Structure 1
Amino acid sequence: MAVFKIIHTTKYQYNWPIKESINEIRLFPHNFENQEVLQHQLLITSNPIVEVTKDFYGNNVGNFNILEPHKEMIIESRMIVKVNHSLKIPEIDTIKVQDLDVEKEKNSYLLRLCYPENILQQKKITSYLKKINATEIPIIEIAQKCSEYIYKNYTYTKGITNIETTLDEILVHKKGVCQDFAHLLLQFLRTAGIPSRYVSGYVCPNSTGLRGEGATHAWVEFYTPKQGWLGIDPTNNIWAMDNHVKLSVGRDFNDCSPVKGTFKGYAKQTLSVSVSIGYEDGRQFEEVTDVKLKKLSEEVQRQLDLIEYQIMVQQRQQQQQQ
């Protein structure tokens, strides 16, 4: 058992004032058998009203608007969470892929999580599944072997991928971060016919030095009728344990994005995310990440260039008048 105090801060900054910012957040830690939320608080710029609902996957989702012009938006999620994954390694389970057919027929939720993406490099996925004889071994063994394969053959490298990086690119370059490896493991498991979902959360630092620790993290859960949803972390090739704090689940990152939204106005934006994790003994760990955003469209870039030019002209005119 472990208790963590986590502060997750998301900061958007704009070079010109924007308005009517409309946002959707999934920053509410899960309450479930192995994780108890002792305290949770949201602090948001302008203190807007946050309407909370549940999505298809059972996540709490918050929606809020900031209508007045602003050059900065900060969302701070503060939580105290107690985690107790009593089973670090799942029990022996002989369930095979074909044994899941009845479960999938009865449950459309499971069936929805069985479809892999259509990718150009799919032969690499099917070839490895054939190599390990995935149709004949238990699904837990499939998950273990695929996680180990990713861990041993793909290099954990920050800064070379973003939310737009495709599975084909990851399969070719064999480099990425936890989000990429989670998506890759999902492709393996879904190709095999195993219901699997993306998990967004945190992996808290420990003495062994886990990869991706101290920041937002991603791993995978797959379903077995005997034990329910089992978490496995391909970035570290371990089962989800006391260091893993779960925020949300979904088909992929898009279903679990901690913050997403839109706004009115033309402005360049920057995004930084910091995660601070405190322990019961007083230790503190913090990591700040500058997030790569989508490239601006040509039209938006032209408008921004025009605005900057107009402001430059106005400033010169004011200087001449003085």
Structure 2
Amino acid sequence: MRLAIRHETLYRYTSPLAYTIQQLRLTPRIESHQQMVTWNIETSGQRNAFADAYGNLCHMLTITGTHDEVRIVVSGEIEVMPLFLGRLLENGTLSPLVYTVTTRLTEPSDTIRAFAAQNLRGNGSKDLLHLAKSICGAVEYQSGATGVTTTANDALLLGQGVCQDHAHLFIACCHTRNIPARYVSGYINSGSTGHAESHAWVDVWVDEDDFKGWVSIDVTHAGFASDAHCRLAVARDYDSAAPVSGVRRGGGEESLDVRVNVTLLPQ
């Protein structure tokens, strides 16, 4: 598929800022099944490109001088090839064991351990898809029910959440078995599902008779990720894969408006 993507992030403030610094993970990863045709980032201030510890393409944005809003717009076209059973062709430069380390958002609680014991039968692809379906049944997709600080345990207890919560809970369950699993942020051509086009899912390490490596699973849709998904960043959780994160000096109260549009282009 060729996807046309436009993602606008607008921060507004009730009083002027003197300084803003933001880390942007808004450039699609270069992988064998995913290639950038065009990609552009529009911001004020100064941007410096770098790669983070997980190999994501990032920019450090700094804005100095008085300002009362920060507007970030990324847009472009991405060519994405289908993935057979969600299998990624690259294993990456980091050991998969890096992704067995728990975080505040993915720490397994006793409740999660009990849930995983019941729903995670093994580390094969079919077992992991069963876990994804179980998570969808336990945590109903509900926009606005949770926030970026919601933990996997919070979402499970609430019984509601969004794709980010589904991914965190999946990873937390994998941690109970020491199965490497990582958070993926990106975009999806969501079609008529009604789900947001800014999306999160997981990669999980499998060791099967005919494949050893990362398999990409869209937990929210209880299926393998494929050519409808554009990958921005991988990391241990949302905090380390967030599209935009940073600090500011001044500004008073902050409001945030995010608009994402993903369109399937004709071949």
The verdict on a shared fold, with TM-score over 0.5 as the criterion, is yes
Amino acid paired to 1:217: H
Q: 1:40: which partner in 2?
A: 39
CA RMSD of aligned residues (A): 2.4
| 2-structure distance, mates of 1:232, 1:80 | 23
| Unpaired stretches in structure 2, ≥5 consecutive residues | none
Q: 1:153: which partner in 2?
A: 138
Q: 1:175: which partner in 2?
A: 160
Instruction: Write out per-residue CA displacement over residues 60-93 of structure 1, whole angstroms, 9 at most, x where no aligned residue.
Output: 11012110111111100112100112414559xx
Alignment of 1:290-305 (within 5 A): none
Q: CA deviation at 1:238?
A: 1.0
SS of 2:46's equivalent? coil
SS of 1:159's equivalent? coil
Per the normalisation by structure 1, the TM-score is 0.74
Q: CA deviation at 1:166?
A: 2.1
Q: CA deviation at 1:144?
A: 1.3
Q: CA deviation at 1:279?
A: 2.7
Amino acid paired to 1:127: A
SS of 2:149's equivalent? coil
Contact residue 114 and residue 191 of structure 1 kept, 8 A: no
Q: 2:118: which partner in 1?
A: 131
Q: CA deviation at 1:263?
A: 1.6
Q: Which deviates more from structure 2 when the two are superposed, residues 222-231 or residues 245-254? A: 222-231
Select the residue among 200, 204, 216 that pairs with 1:218.
200
Higher relative contact order (CA 8 A, sep 6+): 2
Alignment of 1:1-322 (within 5 A): 2-45=1-44, 48-88=45-85, 109-117=95-103, 122-131=109-118, 134=121, 137-206=122-191, 209-210=192-193, 212-213=195-196, 215-225=197-207, 226-281=211-266
| 2-structure distance, mates of 1:258, 1:202 | 11
| Unpaired stretches in structure 1, ≥5 consecutive residues | 92-102, 283-322
CA change 1:89–1:73 in 2 (3 A) is closer
Alignment size in residue pairs: 260
Q: CA deviation at 1:129?
A: 3.5
Bigger share in strand: 2
Per the normalisation by structure 2, the TM-score is 0.89
Instruction: Write out per-residue CA displacement over residues 253-311 of structure 1, whole angstroms, 9 at most, x where no aligned residue.
Output: 011111111121141111111012233249xxxxxxxxxxxxxxxxxxxxxxxxxxxxx
Q: CA deviation at 1:220?
A: 0.4
Q: Which has the larger radius of gyration?
A: 1
Q: CA deviation at 1:181?
A: 0.7
Amino acid paired to 2:51: K
Amino acid paired to 1:131: Q
Bigger share in helix: 1
